[in-house]
Chains A and B, each alone.
Chain A
Amino acid sequence: MAERHRRTANGGDLVTAAADRGGLVARAQTRALLARVGSYALLVLMAVIALYPLYLVIANSLKSNTGVALNPSGFPAPPTLSSYSQLVEAGELHSFLNSLIVASSTTVGAVFISALAGYAFTKLRFPGRAIIFACLIATIMVPIQTAIPGFYVEFAKLHWLNSYQVQIVPFLAPVFGLFMVRQYLLSVPDEIIEAARMDGAGEWSIYWRIIVPLLRPVLAALGVLEFLMMWNSFVWPQVMADTSNVAPLPVTLPTLTDRTLGIVPLYGEIMAGSVLAIVPLIIVFLRYQRAFVSGVTYGNT
């Protein structure tokens, strides 16, 4: 069978091809229809699975704490904002603000610092460049938990624990940022920089006037990735900064329990807090999808 198809494709046996055509086209059409129906069924199923937890968070945030316990899956009837007001009373807005301060200042700093270094590692020549870069890339394999005991013991002596800086400064030099900037700059021809140098531009003005504007898309992607990473950081602040004045939302949210015994989780409030953690980022995502998606795939493929 396959042999005959190959020959018709080569234009070898035209008579058989003409005779076959009617049956083949019909079969191809039903096959295409089946493929289409199957594809959409799979996609709809995936969309439901992807969106269900989001629905659950929003629906349950509009119930009281006992409302969630009685009816965890249904619509809120009637919707109430009581969980949100209790969330505010519990001081969770402060945690939200802590998250925002830490994530945004780390993002700005890390983008600036890794762009500078990524440029130097790609376009400037200096002894040790390749070796230093290779060493930095190799550390991608070091889990964050490896640094925790050493960091904790040393920086406790410097009174850094339970502060903003303990959450910000260690993340200002992300190796993946270096990698992303370098991957992007490799495709930029050296001639642009050489031409500017011939015109007498200093290294700094070359960087600032020529390289930074070129890098804009990759810096946006890097910013998104760094922000997401910081917004999600959990183990580091749990260990280093868990007092309520500096702790970020992911650390305080799971600890929202009843005020008398501190045992029963208050799911209405927890879901309202989860809305705070999830929804702003979704809105930003829907607006700047390209930066998000390219942030994920830069240098990956």
Chain B
Amino acid sequence: MPSIAETRIRIIRIVASSEARTGRRPGARSRSATRLKGYAFIAPFLLLFIFFSAFPDAYTLVLSFQHYAGYGAATAAGLQNYDALLHYPVFWTELENTLEYWVLHAVILIPVAFVLALVVRSKSVRGRSTWRAIIFLPQVMSIVAVTLAFQVMFASPYGAINHLFGLHVAWLTDFGITKWVVVALLVWQGLGFWFVVFLSGLTSIDPAVEEAAMIDGAGVVRRAISIVAPLMKNVFLFAVVIDAITSMALYTQPTVLAATQGVLDPSVAPLSSLVVVNLQSSSFGQSAAAGWLLFLLTIIVSVAVFGSFRLFGRSEPARWRSAIGGRRTGVTW
């Protein structure tokens, strides 16, 4: 058994002799070695990703240009699957539903989460970590289980809400109202997430800026709107974009909430259900076309959100930064 020191000397000798033979510098050698190590480290991730995500996505695209019923050979379809979907009234209803669910819940969710974060952070509130835990709690509850709880809450005629307040509202069968129940569920569920995101964004704001505004006599609301919100512009951008991306893939909540005997009425169904419904009826080409249309929609919506932020958001923070800067110099003056 050679000792460790001996082994090390032997390795040095081996390395030195091989360098003498190949004439390579030691740096070059170790660099190519780390290169290989780099590929080895990412290989499991990359291979899994290619086989199980990238390849199925690409194959869905191929499938969307074919007629395939699950047996026999697939036949070329050109753009027929897309054409059929776009001429299908249900497509437009469900597209509208997805966009409605997104806009309606985001418009409520993001401001409320921001206000809650401001309140929990403010000096007048004690027991911050308890409030944080309670508001965050819905985030760790199983989505399907709480959707079923909402079903019990809003069932008609004998749901918990009707029972509690003596109402007779057809929450889940009058689809105009059902949409709002879905929105309420989405707000209830997402609040904890964005609340925590805003809370951690707030800690990155320099308290001196707010103090300066307070000395100037700016009230709580004024400070929140004119100083804190513009400084958190990037957090808002992130929140709105990520929320938009996940909203386009919305499926679970409306499906579980409003389906009766496993069938979901198109007037409350999200666009993503076209993928599932077509797949279950074995028209794989149309299912695939719906999948790619959903992807295109996600791209369009996130680019639009990004663009509108750049358009409307540009002047605001710059104006306030210079205002704060000006006031600071004012104090020394």
Contacts and interface: CB of A to CB of B under 8 A. Distances in A.
B209 interface: no
B261 interface: yes
A: contact size bracket = 35 or more
Given A42-B119, A142-B295, A56 B35 contact: no
B134 A47 contact: yes
Identify whether the interface residues of B are mostly helix, strand, loop, or mixed.
helix
Contacts, number: 326
B262 A255 contact: yes
Interface in B31-86: 31, 33-39, 41-42, 44-46, 48-49, 52-64, 68, 70
A203 interface: yes
B74 to A, nearest CB: 9
B10 interface: no
A108 interface: no
Nearest to B299: A141
Given A116-B44, A127-B35, A147-B57, A56 B122 contact: no
A53 B155 CA distance: 13
Given A46-B135, A153-B68, A153-B284, A35 B152 contact: no
Contact of B152 (A10, A114, A150, A267): A267
A164 interface: no
B160 to A, nearest CB: 4
A218 B256 CA distance: 33
A104 interface: no
Given A50-B192, A60-B152, A149-B63, A32 B124 contact: yes
Interface stretch (A83-91, A184-192, A268-276): A268-276
Contact of B125 (A39, A271, A281): A39
Interface size class of B (residues with CB under 8 A): 35 or more
A203 B36 CA distance: 11
B330 to A, nearest CB: 7
Contacts of A246: none
A36 interface: yes
Contact of A235 (B53, B153, B215, B251): B251
Contacts of A232: 142-144, 252
Interface in B269-295: 272, 275-276, 279-280, 284, 287-288, 290-292, 294-295
Interface stretch (B17-25, B103-111, B196-204, B317-325): B196-204
Interface string B312-332: 000000000000000000110
A142 B49 CA distance: 13
Interface in A70-106: 70-74
- Most chain A beta carbons < 10 A, residue from B34, B60, B120: B60
Interface in A229-271: 231-232, 234-235, 238-239, 249-250, 253-255, 257, 262-263, 265, 267, 270-271
15 contacts: A2-B216, A47-B135, A53-B149, A120-B42, A125-B35, A126-B39, A141-B245, A143-B272, A150-B59, A151-B52, A153-B68, A231-B142, A254-B148, A254-B256, A301-B201
Interface of A: 1-2, 5-6, 9-10, 31-32, 35-36, 39-40, 42-43, 46-47, 49-54, 56-57, 60, 68-74, 113-114, 116-117, 119-121, 124-127, 129, 132, 136, 139-154, 156, 169-170, 172-173, 175, 178, 200, 203-204, 207, 228, 231-232, 234-235, 238-239, 249-250, 253-255, 257, 262-263, 265, 267, 270-271, 273-274, 277-278, 281-282, 285-286, 289, 292-293, 296-297, 300-301
